[in-house]
Chain A
Amino acid sequence: MKRRTFLTIMGSAGVVSALGTAKVAQAGPHTFPYYADSYGVLHDTTRCIGCRKCEEACNKVNHLPKPKKPFSDLTVCDTHRRTGEYEWTVVNKYKVNGKDVFRKLQCFHCNDPACASACFAKCFTKHPNGAVHYEGSQCVGCRYCMVACPFYVPGFQYDEAFDPLVQKCTFCEPLLMEGKLPGCVQACPKDALTFGRRSDLLRLARARMADNPGKYVNYVYGETDAGGTAWMVLSPAAGQLAASLTPDDAPLAGDEMKQLGLNTHLGHSPMGELTYGALGAVPMIVAFWPVLFGGAYAISKRREAMYKAEKDEKVKEAREDVAAAVDAAVRKIEETQGPGAADTARRAMTEALKARETECKCHGEDK
């Protein structure tokens, strides 16, 4: 009974993963992204001045603990910080072609999030409004979601003894539902963060590039990276900064994205797809292995049986041979020495044979 339930579950696991693949296949390689009508945010790093107002706002609207250094201290941007359990967004300073550029980090709210695909307790869900929602009440705290997130976003409350949770930017869903903007977007004084429908944001990004030739790298980070993300980034191009370039910086031009700390090697399909193959193999193994090993078992059983039959046959033959020989010998004795001697001889020979047989049994079986 246990076995049957298990197989059903395994089977459905396979089917579900197959469905997942089917959904992606339907979307096709070039029709990114699904959830085109969901909300997103475009971060234009050419406008960002590193004032940390978004960090402060995020801290406030989400009631996070106050950091040790105040938000007015701008030097913290110099060290490359990561988002964490109590800092859902951080602004870092990067050198792009020798120039200072600031970038805000937070959960990218992926279209088909790695964290959601990885969580074995279904804590993450992509909501139609664009947010990747985390349900802490069913979280086991295994932190596989953190292993999976290609952007190193989620943080874990390691200091919490009894109810440690995974924490990350929520897209300020409660505010969105009230029809308000996310805290960080509201707070940005430079319009570096633009909130809107994802499809609109992509159009806006292209328009900015077209209107300002040479200002931007011709790439919207997050449009397709890791399967597409709701939050996207524009990076300054060498063109705008070229004047300030020293010859030493020149070789750096061209990989601005990398200098901005953005990973451009994530590929264009959702990270979860990388595991669908392995999961898809599950029903195969469940179906095939028992057959394979059952077959191997049958073969070895059959081999054993055949071996035994052969042995029995040989033994029988040998026994018949011996019986015939004994008979012949006894007949001879009867002819030459009379029936009395023949009887004695037969008895003696049978006894000797029996004794040998039992002896053989003792030695033979064990080997």
Chain B
Amino acid sequence: MSHHSIVIPTKDKLFNLGEFFRPTPGNILTAVILTVGLIITIIRFTMGIGSVTNLSNTQPWGLWIGFDLLCGVALAAGGYFTTVACYVMGMKQFHSAVRPAITTAFLGYGFVVVALLYDLGHPLRLPFMFFFPGTTSVLFEVGLCVATYVTVLLIEFSVAPLEWLSSKYPVLIKWRKLVVHATIVLTIFGVTLSTLHQSSLGALYLIAPEKLHPLWYSPFMPMFFFVSSMAAGSSMVIFEGMFAHKGLHHYMDETHLREADGVVFSFARAASFILFAYFMLKLIDMLVQANLPYVFSGYGAWWLVEMLGFVLLPALLYAKGARDRNLTLCRIASANTVLGIVMNRFNVSMIAFNYNLPSAERYFPSIWEFCISIFVVTMIVTAYRFIIYHMPVLYEHPDFKDEH
């Protein structure tokens, strides 16, 4: 129905920027956030990290790592989750979900790296990890995997911009063909890298058993991070879809719209199983580590909130939503899961971290740290919109129909 209105950039009119300059509330808010963000960026890089953050020697990692890195990477897990479901498991009915998922994953990871530069004392020295590889460090593994995976995602994603630009530069079609042929190899490579760094984000904290509260510290943290990243991946596909349907409906073609609901219900069922599994893992881990007494403390209450309200509850909601084919319920469950993932990463990196210290030495992010995190999210959304307005992500390019 609506695919007639899709503006497909052509040879003579490559750009479609009109959407950005309409004075909608969204556009105005975007402009304000980007301006503030730029100002803080200048302050950060001319006056030091201390000028804009509440970081200290006891809390060297704050919101920028806890949100931008830990949450960012987990929430970008939709990329590997969807490609594996579609290409490896052969669930072709998810095909229209692949490009949006790859796009968000690529943007997510790209901006994780951007956000990381704010947090590094010597951002320009990031490549030093390749010159002086600290192979005993989990962070080295994270860095290596993320660097490689960003490259893989770039290649996987490149199909969309190539199709966009090919009307003007037909040479690009060759490269596109190459990438399309390599899809399955890239997918398997991608899931391997994802497994590694998703889990090693959890492994980062293995080295600080005395700093992290026992209810969150576990030798199985790598596994917890990986399993919850799968839940995050499937939930993010549903969650983003919800917003895309609101704002970008007229950029979706019939196939996308027809398949969208099916994707939601399948992913909801998968997420429900994963969340149940995660719940059981955490529960057993708690019992095996004899942490039961901690459950009845203040932190224990918080732990129960996380486990019951943000793992078990969305698992049930998803199960019911998928069975009754209730779209709204599935979407609520996805928002619930996404919040739960953020909460979990915050707990590990900030709330339950340094739980032993007197409250005066504890950390709370400064307003500027929040601003930068919001800034990064806004940049992602803006970049996403740019891509949607120009490239065949939510629709199939007419020149390349039925070519996969």
Chain A contacts to B: CB under 8 angstroms: 2-3, 6, 9-10, 12-13, 16-17, 20, 82-85, 114, 116-123, 138-144, 146-148, 150, 152, 154-161, 163-165, 263, 265-267, 271-272, 274-279, 281-282, 285-286, 289-290, 293-294, 296-297, 300-301, 303-304
Contacts and interface: CB of A to CB of B under 8 A. Distances in A.
Contacts of B184: 297
B125 A140 contact: yes
A148 B208 contact: yes
B121 A13 contact: no
Interface in B120-141: 120-123, 125-126, 128-129, 131-141
A89 to B, nearest CB: 14
B39 to A, nearest CB: 16
A122 B144 contact: no
B189 A141 contact: no
6 closest A-B pairs (Cβ-Cβ)?
Answer: A141-B121, A300-B90, A158-B50, A143-B60, A278-B203, A120-B140
B47 interface: yes
B195 interface: yes
Interface in B344-362: 361
Contacts of A13: 133, 135, 140-141, 144
B55 A142 contact: no
B90 A3 contact: no
B132 A121 contact: yes
B115 to A, nearest CB: 13
Contacts, number: 201
A174 B233 CA distance: 52
B128 A17 contact: no
B207 interface: yes
The CB with the most chain A CB atoms within 10 A, among B45, B123, B188, is that of: B188
A119 B128 CA distance: 11
A135 to B, nearest CB: 9
B49 interface: yes
A147 B61 contact: yes
Contacts of A277: 219
A117 B125 contact: no
B121 A165 contact: yes
21 contacts: A3-B189, A9-B144, A119-B134, A121-B131, A123-B132, A138-B132, A147-B204, A265-B210, A267-B209, A271-B207, A274-B207, A276-B136, A279-B138, A279-B141, A281-B199, A289-B188, A289-B191, A289-B195, A293-B88, A296-B89, A304-B90
A147 B148 CA distance: 25
Nearest to A116: B136
B206 A152 contact: no
Nearest to A17: B136
B9 interface: no
Interface of B: 45-51, 53, 55-58, 60-61, 84, 87-90, 119-123, 125-126, 128-129, 131-141, 143-144, 148, 151, 184, 187-189, 191-192, 195-196, 199-200, 203-211, 219, 222, 361
Residue of A84, A147, A265 with most chain B CB atoms under a 10 A cut-off: A147
Contact of B137 (A6, A117, A161, A271): A117
Nearest to B58: A152
Given A146-B57, A147-B208, A289-B192, A141 B122 contact: yes
Nearest to B143: A120
A112 to B, nearest CB: 10
B120 A148 contact: no
Nearest to B119: A142
Most B Cβ at <10 Å: residue of A83, A114, A117: A117
Nearest to B128: A121
A122 B138 contact: no
Contact of B57 (A82, A148, A159): A82
Given A9-B144, A278-B200, A300-B89, A138 B138 contact: no
Contact of A275 (B51, B133, B206): B206
Contacts of B199: 278, 281
B222 A278 contact: yes
A164 B188 contact: no
Given A140-B126, A293-B188, 6 more contacts: A114-B207, A138-B128, A142-B119, A144-B204, A159-B51, A275-B206
B207 A160 contact: no
A111 to B, nearest CB: 15
A282 B128 CA distance: 21
Contact of A156 (B121, B126, B205, B209): B121
A263 B120 contact: no
Nearest to A291: B188
Contacts of A301: 90
Contacts of B46: 161
A2 B55 CA distance: 37
Contact of A139 (B53, B87, B122): B122
Contacts of A297: 87-88, 90, 184, 188
A3 B148 CA distance: 9
Contacts of B222: 278, 281
Contacts of A296: 88-89
Contacts of A85: 57
B200 A6 contact: no
A132 to B, nearest CB: 14
A253 B200 CA distance: 42
Nearest to A152: B58
A142 B192 CA distance: 25
